[in-house]
Amino acid sequence: MTTAVAPPLLEDTQLGPKAGGFYRYQNIWTGLGFGIFLGFVAWLVSHATVQGSNWGTDMVVTCTMVAWVVGFNIGMGTFNAPIHWILGHDQTHEDELYAAGVGQGSSRYLKFCTDHKVVGTQYLVLVMVLFGVGGTLAMMIRTQLITPHSSFLDPQTYNAIVTIHGMVMIIATIIMVSGPFANFIMPIMIGAKDMAFPRLNAMSFWVVVSAVPCLLATFFLGGVNAGWTTYAPLSVQAPAAMDAFAMTIITFVVSVTVAGVNTIVTVVTMRAKGMTMGRLPIFTWGTVVGGALGLYAMPAFLAVMTMMITDRATGTSFFVPEVGGSQWLYENIFWIMGHPEVYVILLPPVAAVLEIASTFARKPVFGYKVAIAGFVAIAALSIMVWAHHMFTTGWAPNLAAPFMLTTELISIPTGIIFLCTIGTLWKGSIWTRLPMWFVYLFVWNFIIGGVTGIYLSDVPADQFFHGDMFVTAHFHYTLLGGAMIGATAAVCYWFPKVSGRMLNERVGKVAFWMIAIGIQVTYFGQFWEGFQGMARRIAYYNPHYETANQMSTAGAYLLMAGWLVFLYMMINGWRHGKIAPANPWHAKTLEWKVPTPVPLENFLVDPVVTSDPYTYGEGVPDGQEVPESAPAPEPELVPAGSAPGDQIDAGGAS
Amino acid sequence: MSFTETDHGSEGHGAHGHGAAVPGAENPGGEHETAFKRDQKERLMLWLLIGGDGLFLVLELFTWFYLRALNTSGLWNGAKCSKANPCTDGLGNPINGPIQKADPKHAIIIAACTVIAAGFVWIAESAARRDAGKRAVSTAAGVGFLFLLVALGWQIYQFQVLPFTTIDGAYASTYEFFMGSTLAHLILLGFIMLGLWIRASKGRYAGATWYRVRLIRFFAVWIAVSTVILVAVGALFY
């Protein structure tokens, strides 16, 4: 046992009146103000200079959006440190502490704050807001489809809503785990004091915030009615909203790239002593592989959207066949990004599910190394499957069989990871708390989403299903039923560490059943629509499909109500929940060994890891009861600085 | 997971200035990590970013060769008149005529200046590594920055003297995409090299902190390599 005197908490440091420099005066309001100001100036200037040209409106919208993004981030303080660096100045120790939020209370959540826990919390709130927007749009879609010829929305508006629903949800699901939990939890899990690059971490958050108004602005610029894939030539012909849409993506790509690099560097270089790669919690592996895959996928997204914007705003012809371009070029590059992106979404929540299953089954992750190999195999294969999205387009028919094969191959590592989840639960003494309910739901949904995906990888079957509601049901089972439910399990699991309070599980179970039933009713309804042959993205439909649509819409209302109950549970838990102990689940990973609330730089004294992450039941002689294999009583609230398991004599050195 | 705790277990983890300053760190006031730790982190970050940028470069080349191979309606480099700038045969069909190839001279000058700029960053690094004094480092960095400014200015100038515009078919579009991409990279490198020059003039890269100049050299060399690749493809595969 090592003994040491615990140093004082950093957040108790008294900062001088000049600490932080410009950061003192910058927050979300200066960001908004400066962004709007610069955007307005850009609009005025571009309107005066290029509006009369062939592509004037597109150029004006593009310039305005670029200026908004840059201005917002100048106002937030994103560029303070790089400018200081160029000018040869350095931030002082006090500046660093100020930027980390010391002495600012809750106002640091509205500022450019470098503390990874603040950034994680900011991401969590942003994800909830995005899901709120995307969910509301989904309800508008389902409301329109409740009758065959509803007048709730006109077809143009309906298509615009379908597009933005898709993109809001894509953005939200990409960051729903890698934003909140890879930021808040992962550094603590590996024994680090923060992310490798705290300023880049804060930057990744505020850059994505600046993308959101661009996306929502599309509704006021004529709407993007091309579907979330925004295929050319629809996107080339779309109103000026398409420019704002493309700027959203370009901005988002910057954020995801920076965040992915930061995650990888953190895990590779910031691990505590003794935290070998073989001892990394499985969740960490999921975030690293997901981040690496994002790093591969995002340049394609950037390239295709840049070409799209230049086609629209400067008259290039990448995707215009009449002038030498090709829409297949768009589809190829888009799906080179598009399919790996599904696994960027999926891998972190799946890893979180494995983490949670291990904790509540009181067993190590079954096939830990095989699961890691599965993550890597999925990442590798996912970059070789993109053309299965183009089976019906007529592009390279000779390649259909090879792409069918690679797509079907990817079901093998996916199945292995699924088996690892089942194996972890198998014969475990399962403590069924709220996170576990969502793990069960994940298992159920993911098997349905996965199996229906195999049908779609098959060329003959895809000829029938392509572009119909079967596909919609499949990817909602995978991304909502699988990834989002996995993320929900993660929220329930880590909420006590993030907020310092417990969730009300009784309310949580009500939400759980509403969500669980809602998903099945909604998407079985859509499978039914698909089997009948109903196409996607249509505002009016043949009365033949009415019953299936009504079933789906009824399920959607139940699902939305379930999410609202869940949201109520979270907000109520955050404000009035029982104070959480440092380790309510008796888990083994490091994030549960630090006090709650977690102090700045996480560890009062640096940890040295001496064993694997899942040592449940070890060290107990044969025949004796394993103390941690059964539901354990909740421990007493532990004062900050002396979490259970701390082998430290805070009273003085001995 | 078992662990013990030590107050000296993982030096260099400090993110917000916890603990005493570490000798060898460039910034004694702010972050307190060992030079080794910072170098390790920043190098890995840079290689990952270069990897991502490399993929972007591959996609640019893919676009070039894909459109060139398709040559849709003979409009790879034959769209003197385009739909966007109508000039038709009366039936609505564009009158095709090969557009003039971009003069490779300009692109070669830009690439050469970028390569020379990267070379001077390398000289600056070697001066910092030898601890040759702030004057040697800042002079090399300054000269490198000037060459980069020439490359940047010439790239803007090239837009003015091209024998085609963006609307003249796939070749014109892709060639200008290459130029735009090069311009963006040069601007980014320009900011970094300006910082290098200013900081070198203030003696920030003396002795143990030479590795930070190496980091900039990695990036400058990558930009030079990618510029040369784009120039070569643009010149050789009309």
pLDDT digits (tens, 9 = 90+) for A300-312: 999 999 999 999 9
Q: What is the pLDDT of residues B33-89, one digit of tens each?
A: 788 888 899 999 999 999 999 999 999 999 999 999 998 878 888 766 655 555 566
Domain count for chain A: 2
Residue B4's pLDDT is: 64
Q: Tell whether the model's pLDDT for residue A3 goes beyond 80.
A: no
* A618 domain residue, yes or no: no
Which residues in chain B are closer than 8 Å to A282, comparing Cβ atoms? none
The structure tokens 């699901």 sit at A173
| Residue B74 placed within a domain | yes
A9: which chain B residues are within 8 Å (Cβ-Cβ)?
none
Residues from chain A that touch B166, judged by Cβ atoms under 8 A, are 310, 314-316
pLDDT score of A533: 93
Residues A31 and A179 in one domain: no
A557, A576, A595 - which closes a domain: A576
In a domain, A619, yes or no: no
Nearest to B82 among A274, A323, A614 (CB): A323
- Give the end-to-end CA distance of chain A in Å, rounded to a whole number: 11
- Residue B24 in any domain: the answer is no
CA distance B209 to chain A (A): 14
Q: Would you tell me which residues 504-533 of chain A have a C-beta closer than 8 angstroms to some C-beta of chain B?
A: none
Q: Best interface-test mutation with B: which of A87, A96, A305 has the largest number of B CBs within 10 A?
A: A96
Range of the domain at A36: 20-98
Contact B16 A315 (CB under 8 A): no
Per-residue pLDDT, B91: 66
B52 in any annotated domain: yes
Same domain? For A125 and A74 the reply is no
Cβ under 8 Å to B: A residues 20-59: 54
The DSSP annotation for A417-475 comes to: HHHHHHHHHTT------HHHHHHHHHHHHHHHHHHHHHHHHSHHHHHHHTTBHHHHHHH
| Domain-located, residue B12 | no
Residue of A nearest to B42 (CA): A265
Q: Which of A549, A576, A603 is the last residue of a domain?
A: A576
Mean pLDDT of chain A: 90
User: Do the Cβ atoms of B4 and A610 come within 8 Å?
Assistant: yes
CB within 8 Å of A562: residues ≥ 6 apart: A511, A512, A513, A514, A515, A516, A518
A604 interaction partners in chain B (CB closer than 8 Å):
5
Residues A82 and A225 in one domain: no
Nearest CA distance, A608 vs chain B (angstrom): 5
- Residue A466 at interface with chain B, using a CB cutoff of 8 Å: no
| Residue B9 forms part of a structural domain | no
**Cβ <8 Å between B27 and A91:** yes
- Local structure of residue B167 (DSSP, 8 states): T
Give the chain B residue whose CA is nearest to the CA of A86: B195
Is residue A404 within 8 Å of residue A458, measured between CB atoms?
A: yes
Q: Does A379 touch chain B (CB under 8 A)?
A: no
The pLDDT assigned to A131 comes to: 97
| A636 vs A216, more confident | A216
- A87/A326 Cα distance (integer angstroms): 46
pLDDT for A229 beyond 80? yes
State the nearest Cα–Cα gap between A564 and chain B, in angstroms.
Answer: 37
| Residue range A159-168, pLDDT digits in tens | 999 999 999 9
- The count of domains in chain B is 1
Range of the domain at B87: 35-236
Question: Amino acid letter at A556?
Answer: A
Q: Is residue A605 part of a domain?
A: no
Question: Does B31 sit within 8 Å of A269, measured CB to CB?
Answer: no
Distance CA B105, CA B113 (A): 12
Minimum-distance CB partner of B176 among A91, A316, A589: A316
Residue A505 buriedness (CB in 10 A; 0-12 / 13-18 / 19+): middle
Residue B26 lies in a domain: no
B199 vs A632: CA distance, rounded Å: 58
Nearest to A404 by CA among A352, A469, A459, A356: A459
**For position B43, which CATH number holds?**
1.20.120.80
> What's the CATH number where A148 sits?
1.20.210.10
3-state SS class at B6: strand
Domain boundary among A576, A601, A620: A576
The mean pLDDT value for B221-233 works out to 96
Residue pLDDT, tens place only, B21-32 = 343 344 433 445
Residues A44 and A142 in one domain: no
Examine the domain organization and report whether A135 and A65 are in the same domain. no
Residues of A (107-166) whose Cβ lies below 8 Å from B: 114-115
Residue of B nearest to A299 (CA): B56
pLDDT digits (tens, 9 = 90+) for A232-262: 889 988 999 999 999 999 999 999 999 999 9
- Whether B2 sits inside 8 A of A611 (CB atoms) is yes
Asked, for residue B10, whether it belongs to a domain, the answer is no
The percent of residues above 70 in pLDDT, for chain A, comes to 93
- The tokens describing A582, both together, are 């440092």
Which pLDDT does position A112 carry in this prediction? 95
Residue B20 lies in a domain: no
Would A513 be classed as within a structural domain?
A: yes
The interface residues of chain A toward chain B in range 168-187, judged by CB-CB distance below 8 A, are none
